[in-house]
Structure 1
Amino acid sequence: MNLRGMYAIYHFELARALRTWLQSIISPIVTTSLYFVVFGAAIGSRVQEVEGVPYGAFIVPGLIMLMLLTQSVTNASFGIFFPRFTGTIYEVLSAPVSYLEVVVGYVGAAATKSLVLGLIILFTAQLFVDVPIAHPFLMLAFLVLTSFTFSLFGFIIGIWAEDFEQLQVVPLLLVIPLTFLGGTFYSLDVLPEFWQTVSLFNPVVYLVSGFRWSFYEVSDVPLLVSLGMTFFFMLLCLTLVWWIFRTGYRLKS
């Protein structure tokens, strides 16, 4: 395995985030903090508790997951799209690095950035409200698994997109709406029975629910189901990435 080549891709992508730290780091933190202040203050003054958890603390896992999903997809998709757009992807493909090393470099960097942001936002939330973590190792496992899975998803989008409009359409019209409708700011129990059933077809519900259980041991779906659905989506993304490199889809044309 060409560890030097893989590290070069990984280091380059991380360095790009540091060069654009206002957009890559500060902006997501400020945006998530505003979500917390607005929703926590406006709704929290009317809804004291949800499933025995203060509302301000209840929304913290959902807000972290919202940021984690959007940043993982955005970072990974732009990371691979820009070399395709400029034509430098052919230099990467002709370099003595395997497809696995290319994926690990780009996806690993995007997942690392998202993971660091998630931890920073968790620390920032502690400044506003007490956020107990019942299972810290499980919480970290969900952070790592979600960051990696949706970075893979973003990698696929970056290869599929032909222009900047297509690059943004999936995060804006799919990922963000599904996250808002995935129990970020509410429990599924407050929905009518029909919409509770419909919500179970939203994959983000399982991510938010499992992640929230690691904090407060409350969830809308069983923990094992959340983990199973997360692993299933990760395997699906891995299969698609394997197919892309196997066929050269939009990489060799």
Structure 2
Amino acid sequence: MSQMNLTGARALFMREVRRFLKVNMQTIVTPALTAMLYLVIFRYAMGDRHVPGMEVDYFTFLVPGLAMMAMMQNAFANTSSSMIMGKVMGMQIYLLMAPLSAFEVVAAFLLAAVVRAVVVAAAFLVVLLPFVDFSMPHPGIALVYGICASLMMGGMGLIGGMWARDFDQVAMVTNFVILPLTFLSGVFYSVQQLPPFWQAINNANPFFYLTDGFRYGFLGVGDTDPFASMGVVLVSVVVTCLACWQLWRSGWRMKE
């Protein structure tokens, strides 16, 4: 078994981190401004209304879901944009030829996606935390679900970037797959408010378990048992990461 190239993997990871930090208006300032808009719209429009079936006001219920949505979308955007830019510029063929295993490449991309997701969530929450009362009874659960969401979405972005031939195809995946799944993951509502048919549809969405588990870590309440949902989440993460590893190892659509 060959020795791992930790130096090369670290260099790739740092390249990806520096790449998104250079566009800090997008990765830090924009989430903060978005949080302020949500504050104005939802905090003062909804007032003190409570979520049915939960002893929590609507805005407090909303904040963890919005933070998770921002994490998922940014983790996906980080890997998908990097992949498609490399393909359009003809640079990915050199990465395939680099002395890095598929595991090292995938790990570097996914860890960078996790860092971006955490930075975005931190910027988002720093703005909103003064306006909500979080006891945060289960910070470990919130951390695990946040990392799992970032890994899964980073992996989906990697696959989407490998599949796409141009920016339009990446945008198609974002607009017709990622956005609907994130918006329908319980970010803006409790599943208990839905009719039974739509509850069943919602329960088939893996993003729902990520959002609900993350919210449970902040509030101590949710629509599902976060420990039971962890099985679904871990299977989704493992399947996504294995798919990334196998597709990169085979050079799928990377040499076209």
Instruction: Sort the TM-score into its range (normalised by shorter chain).
Output: over 0.9
What pairs up with 1:33-182 in 2 under 5 angstroms? 33-42=36-45, 44-45=46-47, 47-50=49-52, 51-182=54-185
What pairs up with 1:201-212 in 2 under 5 angstroms? 201-212=204-215
Give the residue type in structure 2 aligned to 1:38.
Answer: I
Equivalent of 2:33, from 30, 34, 43? 30
Q: CA deviation at 1:191?
A: 1.3
- Does the aligned pair in 2 maintain the 1:64–1:118 contact within 8 Å? yes
Equivalent of 2:223, from 220, 230, 237? 220
- Does the aligned pair in 2 maintain the 1:125–1:131 contact within 8 Å? no
Q: CA deviation at 1:133?
A: 0.6
**Matched pairs, number:** 252
Give the residue type in structure 1 aligned to 2:16.
Answer: E
Question: Matches of 2:95 and 2:49 in 1, distance apart?
Answer: 53
CA deviations 1:212-248 (Å, max 9, x no partner) are: 1112221112212321111121122123213313432
- Does the aligned pair in 1 maintain the 2:141–2:213 contact within 8 Å? no
Q: CA deviation at 1:93?
A: 1.4
Question: Matches of 2:41 and 2:176 in 1, distance apart?
Answer: 23
Q: CA deviation at 1:252?
A: 2.9
Question: Matches of 2:185 and 2:237 in 1, distance apart?
Answer: 18
Question: Matches of 2:245 and 2:113 in 1, distance apart?
Answer: 18
Q: CA deviation at 1:49?
A: 4.3
Equivalent of 1:5, from 8, 12, 35? 8
For structure 2, list consecutive stretches of 5 or more residues without a partner in the other structure: none
Q: CA deviation at 1:67?
A: 0.3
- Does the aligned pair in 1 maintain the 2:35–2:127 contact within 8 Å? no
Q: CA deviation at 1:73?
A: 0.5
Q: CA deviation at 1:47?
A: 2.1
Give the residue type in structure 1 aligned to 2:176.
Answer: L
> Residue 199 of structure 2 aligns with which residue?
196
Give the residue type in structure 2 aligned to 1:175.
Answer: I
Question: Matches of 2:172 and 2:35 in 1, distance apart?
Answer: 21
Matching of residue 183 in structure 1 with residue 198 in structure 2: no
CA deviations 1:167-205 (Å, max 9, x no partner) are: 111222222222222111111111122221221112221
CA deviations 1:21-74 (Å, max 9, x no partner) are: 1122211232233234312322x2262344001211111111011101110101
- Does the aligned pair in 1 maintain the 2:213–2:229 contact within 8 Å? yes
- Does the aligned pair in 2 maintain the 1:36–1:63 contact within 8 Å? no
TM-score (norm 2): 0.92
Q: Secondary structure at the match of 2:131?
A: coil
What pairs up with 1:232-243 in 2 under 5 angstroms? 232-243=235-246
CA deviations 1:92-147 (Å, max 9, x no partner) are: 11121111111112221121111121123222221222222111122111111211
Question: Matches of 1:37 and 1:107 in 2, distance apart?
Answer: 34
Give the residue type in structure 1 aligned to 2:218.
Answer: F
Of 168-177 and 183-192, the range deviating more from structure 2: 168-177
Give the residue type in structure 1 aligned to 2:28.
Answer: I
After superposition, the Cα gap between the structure-2 partners of 1:39 and 1:177, relative to the gap in structure 1 and judged at 3 Å, is farther
Question: Matches of 1:32 and 1:228 in 2, distance apart?
Answer: 31
